[in-house]
């Protein structure tokens, strides 16, 4: 079983990671069903409150998170990223990348990745280019105007693109076969019935 770790903290932007976490945890259409599980990580194991007022109790504390035990670390956006409250997660992201384990950050989390130096030499995106300038990073020349970007072991996305973010995550994890991933994106991002037909056909052909 491979574990995808999802960071949780106060003011977490609920909508940004739901598409990714729901479909990682749900084995439907997976290339290898039953391979992945989702584990939440907090600064401590005390409950946190999302920006949508949802209460989440982390499964583990960040002190107990080891890249060797993880397939990926996902960092949602939050109002706290501009301050120093979430520096421990930025530091952990550096450990993950150094160990060759991918990190995915969306919205405010891209600011944390920039502060940590992880975007200095990688193609990346965020909500707007100017937002990252205030992090003090030196990677502005590598900024890309795109909903989501993957460069080596770092995925970035803007707050308005949860499905593009999820698509990059799924591709990096090898969660779906390429044509299934395309169909997933058609259905969930664009309400294209052709995507549903492909997914239904795939599910039928792989039924026990």
- Distance, in Å, from the CA atom of 43 to the CA atom of 165, rounded to the nearest integer, reads 23
How many helices and strands, by DSSP H and E, does the chain display? 7, 9
113 and 119 in contact (C-beta within 8 Å)?
yes
H or E segment to which residue 198 belongs? helix 193-205
Catalytic residue, from 107, 109, 166, 181: name it. Answer: 107
Structure tokens at 105: 């950050």
Verify whether residue 107 is a known catalytic residue: yes
Q: Is 45 exposed, middle or buried (0-12, 13-18, 19+ CB in 10 A)?
A: middle
Residue 134: strand, helix, or coil: coil
Question: 41 near 60, Cβ under 8 Å?
Answer: yes
CA-to-CA dists, residue 23 to 13, 27, 98, angstroms: 18, 7, 27
- Residue 14's alpha-carbon distances to 17, 19, 30, 122, in angstroms, are 7, 10, 24, 27
**Enzyme catalytic residues:** 107
């Amino acid at each position: 079983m491979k574990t995808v770790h999802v960071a949780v903290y106060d003011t977490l932007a609920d909508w940004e990671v739901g598409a990714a976490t729901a479909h990682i945890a749900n084995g439907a259409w997976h290339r290898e069903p039953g391979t992945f599980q989702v584990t939440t990580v907090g600064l401590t194991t005390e409950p946190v409150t999302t920006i949508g007022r949802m209460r989440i109790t982390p499964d583990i504390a960040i002190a107990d998170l080891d890249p060797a035990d993880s397939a990926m670390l996902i960092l949602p956006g939050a109002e706290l990223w501009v301050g120093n409250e979430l520096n421990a997660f930025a530091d952990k992201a550096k450990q993950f990348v150094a160990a060759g384990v991918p990190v995915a950050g969306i919205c405010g989390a891209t600011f944390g990745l920039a502060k940590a130096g992880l975007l200095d030499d990688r193609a990346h995106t965020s909500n707007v280019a100017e937002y990252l300038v205030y992090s003090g990073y030196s990677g502005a020349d590598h900024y890309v105007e795109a909903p989501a970007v993957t460069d080596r072991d770092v995925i970035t996305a803007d707050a308005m693109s949860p499905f593009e973010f999820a698509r990059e995550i799924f591709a990096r994890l090898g969660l779906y076969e390429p044509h299934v991933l395309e169909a997933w994106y058609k259905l969930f991002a664009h309400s294209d019935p052709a995507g549903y037909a492909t997914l239904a056909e795939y599910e039928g052909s792989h039924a026990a």
